[in-house]
């Protein structure tokens, strides 16, 4: 596998990482139809844990089968497939080597009231399953945020020592944060910056809105004349918050929406300079043919062809 100039540039941002970690980052960056471009589209399937099986898969019953998601990610030519322990175990042998995988190491569920997640997998599991990376969610603002940060610090240290890359889902929620504040531009940028400070190689956040949660931040944004008028401008600011764009940032697909809404959002994410999308519910809740067609268009958008 010969690395592209763009991928070599991205790997240079992670100067203290060992060759194993860089090789696994390269596996993800060079895989699929966007391989070598520095852009990524990743399929995440942890929604069964988060929302329950019916809410996740009943609209497309074929998706109850873990192999469905592996095959969808492979056939669509995606960069990687991210999921939880049981889903990856039920396919790691059958699909070994066909697509880089990311083991999501902690999970919440809709029956809980605490803004926290349980650690549900180990670095040893990721190594056993041939994963390229581990993933972990933190909830900045929650009452349990500091424990989550300490957990990810320890797990990231172990993962990096074994040559794995680290992905952090940074989703602000809980504490004194308002509902609108969960996706506010100042809070989303802060959450992304925290993930970078915690040593993430790849950072996942939600698309930010123009709402500003913190009065102190509002003053700073106004004084510096930071443009947050469009999603493209907000994504650009988000990239600035991630070490001046020298960290890999992907944005979630969020709640299910119509195709025009998906494509418009993807174009703005692309134009803002983010590395790509990690999109789950908007794909596997649709019939397979529709999902493949949608992913094909998304990839073409990131290639500048649509």
Catalytic positions, written as ranges: 204
Angle of helix 288-302 versus helix 66-75 axis, rounded to 10: 40
Tokens at residue 190, please? 């802060």
What is the chain's alpha carbon radius of gyration, rounded to the nearest angstrom?
A: 18
Both ends of the chain: CA-CA distance in Å? 28
Tell me the C-alpha distance between 59 and 174, whole Å. Answer: 30
Tokens at residue 30, please? 């060079």
Q: Which of 145, 171, 187 is nearest to 251 (CA)?
A: 171
Tell me the C-alpha distance between 221 and 4, whole Å. Answer: 37
Q: Which of 80, 118, 123, 120 is nearest to 98 (CA)?
A: 80
- Computed from CA positions of residues 170, 252, 34, 227, in that sequence, does the dihedral angle turn out positive or negative? negative
Element (H, E) at 251: strand 248-252
């Amino acid at each position: 596998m010969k690395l592209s100039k763009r991928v070599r540039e991205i790997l240079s941002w992670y100067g203290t990482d060992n060759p194993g970690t860089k090789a696994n980052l390269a596996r993800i960056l060079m895989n699929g139809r966007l391989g070598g471009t520095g852009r990524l589209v990743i399929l995440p399937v942890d929604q069964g844990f988060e929302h329950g099986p019916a809410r996740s898969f009943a609209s497309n019953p074929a998706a109850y089968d873990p192999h469905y998601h592996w095959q969808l990610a492979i056939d669509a030519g995606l960069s990687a497939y991210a999921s939880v322990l049981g889903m990856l175990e039920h396919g790691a042998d059958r699909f070994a080597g066909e697509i880089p995988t990311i083991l999501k190491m902690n999970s919440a569920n809709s029956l809980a009231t605490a803004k926290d997640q349980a650690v549900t997998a180990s670095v040893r599991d990721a190594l056993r399953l041939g994963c390229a990376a581990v993933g972990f969610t933190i909830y900045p603002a929650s009452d349990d945020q500091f424990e989550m940060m300490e957990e990810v610090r320890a797990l990231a240290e172990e993962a990096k020592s074994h040559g794995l890359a680290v992905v952090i889902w940074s989703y602000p929620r809980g504490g004194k944060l308002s509902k609108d504040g969960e996706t506010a531009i100042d809070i989303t940028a802060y959450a992304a910056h925290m993930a970078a400070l915690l040593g993430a190689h790849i950072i996942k956040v939600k698309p930010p809105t123009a709402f500003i949660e913190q009065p102190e931040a509002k003053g700073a944004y106004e004084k510096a004349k930071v443009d947050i008028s469009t999603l493209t401008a907000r994504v650009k600011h988000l990239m600035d918050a991630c070490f001046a764009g020298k960290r890999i940032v992907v944005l979630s697909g969020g709640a299910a929406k119509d195709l025009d809404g998906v494509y418009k959002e993807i174009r703005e994410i692309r134009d803002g300079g983010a590395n790509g999308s990690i999109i789950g519910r908007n794909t596997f809740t649709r019939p397979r043919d529709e999902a493949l067609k949608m992913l094909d268009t998304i990839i073409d958008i990131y290639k500048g062809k649509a």
